[in-house]
Structure 1
Amino acid sequence: MNMIDNALGVHAQALGLRSKRMEVLARNIANADTPHFKAKDVDFASVLKQTRQDALNTTSNLHMALPMEENPGGEKYRVPFNASFDGNTVEMNVEQAKFGQVAADYQTTLNILENRVSGIRRALRGD
């Protein structure tokens, strides 16, 4: 299993994170008319850094541990550009733009993984 993880690199983890971010953005869009709903987003870079096993290796058990974030899932509330009267912080144009960007990033990561898997298949077949 470790050999497969090495072959796919960080892209396998990135695909899962991008999928989670699309779910959060879709939840924001679905609740655009819900009073007092607070829009969230996932800080992709910080979550990916946390999930990497080689982010920080200590050489001694006497080293201080990094403080853990209060939200390990990386979800953070978004600050709206324009305040709403009903307390909802979802801005449809922002959410749709971010969703489109994340969908394109997801497809790119999926293509990278597909290329890596097809390369492994060719190597196994001896092509």
Structure 2
Amino acid sequence: MDKLDALFDFNATALRVRAQRQEILAANIANADTPNYKARDIDFAASLKKALEANVASAANNAAVSSNGNMSLATTHGKHIPGGTGGVNEADLLYRPLIQGSVDGNSVDGEVERTAFVDNAIHYEANITMLNAQIKDMTAALSPTS
């Protein structure tokens, strides 16, 4: 079953990081008129790599599955910080470079944000399509031939 998990792990992790990026970009768009708001984004490739490494580390460290199905690292001391599933955290967020200054200190450029939002949505859909193709291939391989 570990190989089956590994087969789907990449696309599942990519979908999770893409969804988190979509939330960040949506927050930028929503705060386009907020004074002193600084546009944020992530480096998708670096965040995906970090998330995949966290998934491998949690599996290697005998991760315990909680009652709701979420993975968490087993801790051996009360002061240990429980690990997550390798998502994007505050340290991964980057400030978007200022393209054009504004009087109110807001760094959101609507066109840049909408373009990044649509690009991320297209990549998200592509990940779903690849995941569906993998599931169809797996189903075809497991079904008896007529």
TM-score by length of 2: 0.70
Question: Alpha carbons of 1:34 and 1:110: their partners in 2 closer, same or farther (altered >3 Å)?
Answer: same
1:124 aligns with 2:138: no
Identity of aligned residues (%): 38
C-alpha distance in structure 2 between counterparts of 1:23 and 1:10, whole Å: 20
Q: Which amino acid aligns with 1:30?
A: A
Q: Which amino acid aligns with 1:99?
A: F
Alignment RMSD (CA, Å): 2.2
Trace 1:13-92 onto structure 2 (pairs within 5 A): 13-53=13-53, 74-92=92-110
Q: Which amino acid aligns with 2:15?
A: L
Does the residue aligned with 2:103 lie in a helix, a strand or coil?
Answer: coil
C-alpha distance in structure 2 between counterparts of 1:72 and 1:49, whole Å: 16
Shift of residue 73, structure 1, vs aligned partner? 5.5
Shift of residue 5, structure 1, vs aligned partner? 2.1
Greater shift after overlay, 110-119 or 6-15?
6-15
Q: Which amino acid aligns with 1:121?
A: T
1:113 aligns with 2:131: yes
Residues 42-91 of structure 1: CA deviation (Å, up to 9, x unaligned):
1111111112239xx9xxxxxxxxxxxxx665211111210111011100
C-alpha distance in structure 1 between counterparts of 2:122 and 2:91, whole Å: 22
Alpha carbons 1:44, 1:74 under 8 Å: kept: no
Which of structures 1 and 2 has the larger relative contact order (alpha carbons within 8 angstroms, sep 6+)? 1
1:96 aligns with 2:138: no
Provide structure 2 residue ranges, at least 5 long, that are not aligned to the other structure. 58-88
C-alpha distance in structure 1 between counterparts of 2:94 and 2:142, whole Å: 43
Q: Which amino acid aligns with 1:83?
A: G
C-alpha distance in structure 1 between counterparts of 2:90 and 2:133, whole Å: 31
Provide structure 1 residue ranges, at least 5 long, that are not aligned to the other structure. 58-70
C-alpha distance in structure 2 between counterparts of 1:73 and 1:122, whole Å: 42
How many residue pairs are counted as aligned between the two chains?
113
C-alpha distance in structure 2 between counterparts of 1:38 and 1:21, whole Å: 16
